[in-house]
Each structure stands twice: as structure tokens, then as C-alpha cells.
Amino acid sequence: MIKIAVLETQNVNKNFSGLQALKNVSVTLKKQQIIGLIGPNGSGKSTLFNLITNVISQDEETTGNILFEGKIINDQKMHLLAREGLVRTFQVTQIFPKLTVLENMLIASQFHPGENLKKVLVDVFRKLLHKSTWEEEELTFAKKAMEILDFLEISHLAKEKAEVLSGGQRKLLALGRALMTSGKVILLDEPVAGVNPVLSNRIFEKIDQLRKESTTFFIVEHNMDVIMESSDHVFVLSKGEIIADGSPKEIQENPNVLDAYLGDEGE
Ligand SMILES: Nc1ncnc2c1ncn2[C@@H]1O[C@H](COP(=O)(O)OP(=O)(O)OP(=O)(O)O)[C@@H](O)[C@H]1O
Ligand SMILES: [Mg+2]
């Protein structure tokens, strides 16, 4: 079966006042694949995600194109991208600690960074305070949120404040929030950093299950075991450049990849 490209970067460059964070980065993500993005600290992984999802806007220090489903999306706002099915999570998990797990999920379905948070929060709270006035749409969201929490096996925590969650459970909630948006392509920045091995494996099992259904994943992760086991294809960034890409096996056998990591350690 031929898998078509859903997300593509073409010769993307990004400078931060003289520091070249990305150099001619071209990556292609095919539909229903899990694509790993690895590389030493500071190699540009989060910057690439930030550019793709327009967290960093394109400026005079940016060149190249980003295409989603064949369309150039260089300047498209993050919340509009999310609506079209391109969503992400952040390296530092963004949750609202004083809200319940379920409320965190509901907000995700209506709020995407880049929109007016206060306005959205006021709106969501009004609805939460007057549950009897929930409209069909909100009930649908609540049902969907509970289904996702069930799938992630944290539905028993739905009514707990998010602040009581462990680091691993917060990562699951972050994934859950991304799933609320029904993303076609989901970018995960270190989804299992600081998560115990049992929970890490569970998160990756869920990711694999969703991929089989329809989703494409682009995943930054320092945990080599999970990334090598789960990915269909891996890109390696070093000092802003893609220095290798291929199957996990090819990457593991590529001496340049080892050099990139050892060089980083030695500096
Ligand atoms: N907003 C910014 N302003 C200036 N420099 C930045 C900015 N964001 C990133 N950088 C720099 O760009 C380079 C790449 O950073 P980036 O965060 O993309 O690395 P990373 O591969 O995600 O690293 P890590 O594995 O530690 O998360 C680093 O040198 C970093 O200091
Ligand atoms: Mg990063």
C-alpha cells in the first residue's frame, strides 16, 4: 500500500539572532506512521515542532515551507491548524492544576493556544457551573472525554483535581487532551519523559493502537528503547541538521548517529 505524505517540511531554516537552530530540515511524514525525531539536547527538535505548529511564527530569520496535506501552512495560526487536525503536546506538560481531569479534557476540545484563554475559560466555567444547561454539543464532548480517559485507563481520576496526578498520569492527560481534538497528525514532545517504564509502555501501546486506526504521530523522545521499538521511521537531528533517517535498525547501525551523541557528551 502506498502511504501518502500528510506532513512535510521543505528546506526549513531557523535562526535565533545568529544561532542557526535549524539548517535545511526536510522531513516527510506518511499517513498512519509513527515517526521518531531524536537528537542530543539543543539539536533543534522542539524548535522544529514549534515551527510546524506555528508556536514560533515565521519571520525574516525563517525560510522554507511546511506542508500539511499538501497545502503550505507556514503562517497558519496554531488553533486553526488544530481545527484542521494538526495538534501537539509540549515538552513541559501544560495542564490546569486546579481544574479536574475531566475539565482539563473539556477545555482542550474548545481551547487551543493562540486563542483568548480567558474568554474560553469563562465560557467553559459558565457551562460547568450550570450543567443543566449543557447543550448537546457539550454532552458529546463530555462523553468523548470520558471515553478517551477510559481508553487511557485514567477515567477513575476524572473528578480529581489535575494537581494530584503523578508525572506519568499528567503525560497521559496531555495525550488525552491532544486526542480530544481528533488530530490527524499529532506531534508529541517527550511524551514519556519522567514516566516509569510500565506507564511508558502503556502510553506507546495506546499510540500504536491509535496509529492503526488512522492517526499519524511525530514523536520527540530521549527514551531510545521506546522510540526504536515503536517507530516506523526515525529522523536524527544534530546541531540543527538532519544527519540520518531510516528504519530504527538503520539508525542504530549508523555510526554518525553515535558520533552525534558522543560528541554532545564530550562537549
Ligand atoms: N525561543 C528561542 N530563542 C532563542 N534560542 C532558542 C529558542 N528556542 C530554542 N533556542 C535555541 O535553539 C537550539 C535548539 O533548541 P531546542 O529547544 O529546539 O532543542 P531540543 O532538541 O528540543 O533540545 P532538548 O532535547 O533539550 O529539548 C538551542 O541552542 C536553543 O538554545
Ligand atoms: Mg526539546
pLDDT tens per residue, range 118-174: 666 666 666 666 655 556 666 788 888 999 999 888 999 999 999 999 988 998 899
Three cell numbers written together for 16: 535565533
Cell for 266?
A: 564530550
Instruction: Using a cut of 0.85, tell me whether the model's pTM lies above it.
Output: yes
Q: Say what the pLDDT of residue 267 is.
A: 47
- The tens digit of pLDDT for each residue in 178-229 reads 888 878 999 999 998 878 888 889 889 989 999 999 999 999 999 999 999 9
**Which DSSP category does 113 fall into?**
B
Are 53 and 86 spatial neighbours (Cβ–Cβ below 8 Å)?
yes
Q: Which three cell numbers stand for residue 92?
A: 513541559
Tell me the best of 9, 16, 190 to mutate to test the pocket of ligand 1, counting ligand atoms within 8 Å of each CB and taking the most.
16
* Assigned C-alpha cell, 70: 499538501
Ligand 1 atom nearest to CA at 49: 18
Query: For the chain, what percent of residues have pLDDT higher than 70?
Result: 86
Please say whether the beta carbons of 123 and 130 come within 8 A. no
Rounded to the nearest integer, the mean pLDDT of the chain is 87
Closest CA to 54 of 114, 120, 144, 137: 114
Distance CA 97, CA 211 (A): 29
Question: Of all helices (H) and strands (E), which one includes residue 219?
Answer: strand 216-220
Cβ(39) to ligand 1 under 6 A?
Answer: yes
| pLDDT at residue 266 is higher than 50 | no
Residue nearest (by alpha carbon) to ligand 1 atom 6:
16
Is residue 48 predicted with pLDDT exceeding 90?
Answer: yes
Would you call 247 helix, strand, or coil by DSSP? coil
Looking at the structure of the chain, the number of domains it has is 1
Helix (H, G, I), strand (E, B) or coil at 115: strand
Nearest protein Cα to ligand 1, atom 25: 41
Helix, strand, coil % over all residues of the chain, rounded to 5: 45, 25, 30
Query: What confidence category does residue 255 fall into, taking pLDDT thresholds of 50, 70 and 90?
Result: very high
Mutate to test the pocket of ligand 1, among 27, 43, 56, 91 (most ligand atoms within 8 A of CB): 43
From the CA of 48, the nearest ligand is: 1
* Ligand 1 pocket, residue 254 CB under 6 Å: no
Domain enclosing residue 194, as ranges: 5-266
Residue 29 is part of a domain; what is its CATH number? 3.40.50.300
Q: Render the burial of 47-85: b for 16+ CB within 10 Å, e for the rest.
A: bbbbbbbbebebeeebebebbbbeeebbebbbbebbeeb
